[in-house]
Amino acid sequence: MTNNDTNDAMTKQTLLITGGAGFIGSHVVRLLVYKYPDYRIVNLDALTYAGNLENLRDVEHAPNYVFERADITSPDEIKALFEKYRPDGVIHLAAESHVDRSIANPLAFVETNVMGTVNLLNAARNIWKDDAGGKRFYHVSTDEVYGSLGEEGLFTEETRYDPRSPYSASKAASDHFVRAYFHTYDLPVVLSNCSNNYGPNHFPEKLIPLIINNIKQDKPLPVYGDGKYTRDWLWVKDHASAIDTIFHKGRTGETYNIGGNNEWKNIDLVEKLCDIMDELLGKPAGASRRLITFVKDRPGHDRRYAIDASKLKTELGWEPSIKAEAGFRETAQWYLDNDAWLQHVVSGAYQQYYNQQYQTTGNK
């Protein structure tokens, strides 16, 4: 039997994961494939520049795993796959996810994040119209929909939406559509809004893997503006476990914030990564810090994100498992051990993006 011939009679549930070849999606797919051998896990992904099946080499032959290359912006492709698999649950992660790219090309974010999400909602509504009992559409979203905080305060689930980049505006719009389908059509939905993730398989356009990759290559480390922008960092495998918890135990129609209780100013984080890398590479203390270069700021840059995740802890008993220092060290070591992965994703297309992004910010 190949993985495409999964025995339906033995399958309790079919879960369709969108964006399963991406950074967070691949950790979610792996967790579900191993933890629930009697589920059929269908990974639906268009394999954009950010999707990479190398992230899932260890699960590709699992009998309960299927990959389908499809584009969520195509209503026909999505409808056909929903009819083929008739999923009991959907965990929707597919998205354009990088803020800087959204500033350069907002429309791509509307197409994937808004239109793509509505296509999925329509397809789920269509196959569950006669009986939505026990079904669930889980929309994975971001804390960026809440806007920007000052020095104090935390985002709760009640914080008013105030998206300020094309990326966060597109994610906010998709969240609104998901809730609208719950209220208007009784579609059984659940949502989460999470802070910044880090860990293995993170595409090196994002801050942490970009800094690690540049240190490896002895290249300048671009820090936007004054470097005092603050993010709350969550270990990606903790995000995957929170998604598992919310998918199985969260209340229908509810939203859960997910965070790491782990706030860092960018400059402090970059210095920490420099010190960890110096140690792992056997360089003299302070060597990598000399590569830090302050560059032109991101337009509309949100000053601070911080999450109040107490609802998730109180209601569902979930908390992050890993401490920052250990997580950053494990991440840096992963990038050192997986040079082939890094070389494959840092393709010609990525080089072109990098040159454009950092030439315009004065950093070569």
Q: Using an 8 Å Cβ cutoff, are 102 and 170 in contact?
A: yes
Please report which helix (H) or strand (E) contains residue 14, including its range: strand 13-18
Q: Using an 8 Å Cβ cutoff, are 206 and 353 in contact?
A: no
Would you say 137 or 155 has its CB closer to ligand DAU? Answer: 155
Q: How many residues does the chain have?
A: 364
Q: Between 244 and 273, how does the x/- string for binding to ligand DAU read (CB under 6 A)?
A: ----------------------x-------
Amino acid sitting at position 167: Y
93 binds ligand NAD (CB under 6 A): yes
Q: Which of 59, 60, 58, 82 is nearest to 70 (CA)?
A: 82
Would you say 40 or 92 has its CB closer to ligand DAU? Answer: 92
From the list ligand NAD, ligand DAU, none, which binds 209 (C-beta under 5 to 8 Å, kind-based)? none
Catalytic residue among 45, 71, 88, 144: 144
Which residue is associated with the tokens 């240190």?
A: 215
Output the CA–CA distances (angstroms, integers) from residue 100 to 176, 283, 300, 302, in the order listed.
23, 32, 10, 12
140 binds ligand NAD (CB under 6 A): yes
From the list ligand NAD, ligand DAU, none, which binds 231 (C-beta under 5 to 8 Å, kind-based)? ligand DAU
Q: Using an 8 Å Cβ cutoff, are 196 and 142 in contact?
A: no
Distance, CA of 11 to CA of 63 (rounded, Å) = 11
Catalytic residue check, 76: no
90 binds ligand NAD (CB under 6 A): no
Closest contact distance (angstroms) between CB of 178 and ligand NAD is: 12
Would you say 43 or 288 has its CB closer to ligand NAD? Answer: 43
Catalytic residue check, 167: yes
269 binds ligand NAD (CB under 6 A): no
165 binds ligand NAD (CB under 6 A): no
Amino acid sitting at position 138: Y
Catalytic residue among 39, 65, 138, 167: 167
Closest contact distance (angstroms) between CB of 363 and ligand DAU is: 8
Catalytic residue check, 144: yes
Enter the tokens of residue 363: 């950093």
How many residues contact ligand NAD, by CB under 6 A?
Answer: 29
Distance, CA of 339 to CA of 8 (rounded, Å) = 39
DSSP 12: S
Q: Between 180 and 209, how does the x/- string for binding to ligand NAD read (CB under 6 A)?
A: --------------x-xx-----x------
Q: Using an 8 Å Cβ cutoff, are 123 and 79 in contact?
A: yes
Q: How many CB atoms lie within 10 A of CB 11?
A: 13
DSSP 41: E
Enter the tokens of residue 148: 């920007």
Closest contact distance (angstroms) between CB of 46 and ligand NAD is: 3
Would you say 54 or 275 has its CB closer to ligand NAD? Answer: 54
Q: Of 49-57, 219-227, 239-247, 256-264, which segment contacts ligand DAU by CB under 6 A?
A: 219-227
170 binds ligand DAU (CB under 6 A): no
Q: Of 51-59, 141-149, 249-257, 310-318, which segment contacts ligand DAU by CB under 6 A?
A: 141-149
Q: Using an 8 Å Cβ cutoff, are 37 and 12 in contact?
A: no
Q: Using an 8 Å Cβ cutoff, are 101 and 55 in contact?
A: no
144 binds ligand DAU (CB under 6 A): yes
Binding site residues, ligand DAU, CB under 6 A = 97-99, 142-144, 195-196, 206-207, 210, 222-224, 229, 231, 266, 298, 305
Would you name the residues annotated as active-site residues?
A: 143-144, 167
